[in-house]
Amino acid sequence: MRGDVAIRCHGLGKQYRLGPRQRSAIGFGRPTAQGATLWALRDVSFEVSAGEIVGIIGANGAGKSTLLKILSRITAPTEGQAEIHGRVGSLLEVGTGFHPELTGRENVYLNGAILGMRKAEIEAKFDEIVAFAEVERFVDAPVKHYSSGMYVRLAFAVAAHLDPEIMLIDEVLAVGDARFQRKCVGKIGDSVRTGRTVFFVSHNMVAVQNLCTRVIWLDGGRIVDDGDRRVIARYAANTLTSRHQRSWPDVATAPGGDAVRVTRASVRPAAGSGHEITTSTDLLLEFEYWNLGSGAHLNLSLHVYDEQGVLAFNTAPVNEAEWHGRAFPQGRFLSACRVPGDLLNEGVYRIELLVVKDQATVLFRDDGILVFEVRDAGQGRGAWYGRVPGVVRPNLEWRTTCLERSEAPAGAGR
């Protein structure tokens, strides 16, 4: 490694050409000269020292994955240059290179080779990889028979045991169940403690906060901010603009698909008018949607996140009296959820909406359909003037009872 610099980028840019493609004589397509262009990255410059743990954050389309693909040598930059000093391990798309007809054992060797591992390395780590993935019983079965969770666990285990000097990790925490995600974070943490340089792309701000010592914020292909963990707070404050009410009156262009279309979403105080929401306000969350099919059992699932990406709570209409358990006919529906006051703490919250069919198939997902701010009501604080800690701050019932009236025990109060 040259000096203590692991990665150096200078004036990095990546341009894509959009629009129709020409057909050549041998059948391959190429963009026409008239096609529009898109700069996925533009004028990106930075240095990363050996041993740094850098989080890359930004909205979808900000250029995060493009940057990692350039650093992984998957795609070449249009302009500028990127220097990499050290062996690179990339976890960009977990499972790339797996063949469904091959067994888990065969895919470990195949995928390990694709990721740059020698056969001796794979053999030495094979048992550890299989144990991490928890697929010992099924390692000699074709992976086409694996569940999606088993598939993802094995793919991550192979990539995570590469032992590179530089790790490029793109949103691997978006897959698997919660227990496996914690396991992933632990494995990434092990890499950090052994002095590896880590580039970590994620929408999970809690993971970025806990793992990374430096954060780079990308927007529109350019670096907006580069610094310590305080960049996360600035990013959250900038991107979580309030969206109390949204509507799409034209069903044909409303978000959704052939099965369901969402036409309105709103968050408002359950009583009174206006949009002022305090910690003591009862909230009403409303969603209007068209069910375009018939006979499906629909279920709305709401995930409420704070500005750090921490899941405050998840709710679904499991106790809804009229339609839970019944097939939905074609038609327009309104689902409303009441959130009691004295539950959420002050802060900015984002609502992710999922419309699920038959408790299994996600028909619609919007990870930020509503965004709202809860302000401190200033009630019941007593002598405490700081921010009340925690995501929730429920006003729970307390009761104090005098069990015995007597003089204080001898020696008390001295």
User: Three-state SS for 154?
Assistant: helix
The CA dihedral of 18, 23, 25, 30, to the nearest 10 degrees, is 10
Residue 397 domain-assigned (yes or no): no
- Mean pLDDT, the chain, as a whole number? 83
Residue 379 domain-assigned (yes or no): no
More confident residue, 160 or 297: 297
Q: What is the pLDDT of residue 1?
A: 41
Q: What is the pLDDT of residue 379?
A: 63
pTM of structure? 0.61
pLDDT grade for 344, boundaries at 50, 70 and 90: very high
Q: Are residues 120 and 9 in the same domain?
A: yes
pLDDT grade for 26, boundaries at 50, 70 and 90: very low
Tell me the pLDDT tens digit for each residue of 139-167. 999 998 988 778 878 888 887 787 778 88
Q: Are residues 203 and 101 in the same domain?
A: yes
Q: Are residues 219 and 284 in the same domain?
A: no
Domain boundary among 198, 220, 239: 239
Tell me the pLDDT tens digit for each residue of 230-262. 898 788 777 666 788 899 989 888 998 889 999
User: Do the bridges between strand 166-170 and strand 197-201 make them parallel or antiparallel, or are there none, so unpaired?
Assistant: parallel
Q: What is the pLDDT of residue 320?
A: 82
Residue 214 domain-assigned (yes or no): yes
Q: Are residues 206 and 318 in the same domain?
A: no
Residue 30 domain-assigned (yes or no): no
Least confident of 129-138, 185-194, 356-365: 185-194
Tokens 């990374």 belong to: 212
Q: Are residues 133 and 263 in the same domain?
A: no
At 360, which CATH number? Answer: 2.70.50.60
Q: Are residues 275 and 202 in the same domain?
A: no
Q: Are residues 270 and 234 in the same domain?
A: no
pLDDT grade for 297, boundaries at 50, 70 and 90: confident
Q: What is the pLDDT of residue 354?
A: 92
Tell me the average pLDDT across 375-391: 65
Q: Are residues 231 and 306 in the same domain?
A: no
Domain that holds residue 312: 245-374
Residue 308 domain-assigned (yes or no): yes
Q: Which residues contact 250 (CB under 8 A, 6 or more apart)?
A: none
pLDDT grade for 108, boundaries at 50, 70 and 90: very high
Residue 74 domain-assigned (yes or no): yes
In the DSSP assignment, the letter for residue 87 is: -
Domain boundary among 239, 260, 275: 239
Q: What is the pLDDT of residue 28?
A: 44
Q: Are residues 231 and 253 in the same domain?
A: no
CB atoms < 10 A from the CB of 171, how many? 18
Q: Are residues 131 and 267 in the same domain?
A: no
Residue 142 domain-assigned (yes or no): yes
Counting the structural domains of the chain, the total is: 2
At 191, which CATH number? Answer: 3.40.50.300
Q: Are residues 214 and 253 in the same domain?
A: no
Q: Are residues 130 and 222 in the same domain?
A: yes
Contact criterion met (CB below 8 Å) for 110 and 102: yes
User: Do the bridges between strand 311-315 and strand 298-306 make them parallel or antiparallel, or are there none, so unpaired?
Assistant: antiparallel
Element (H, E) at 221: none
Residue 149 domain-assigned (yes or no): yes
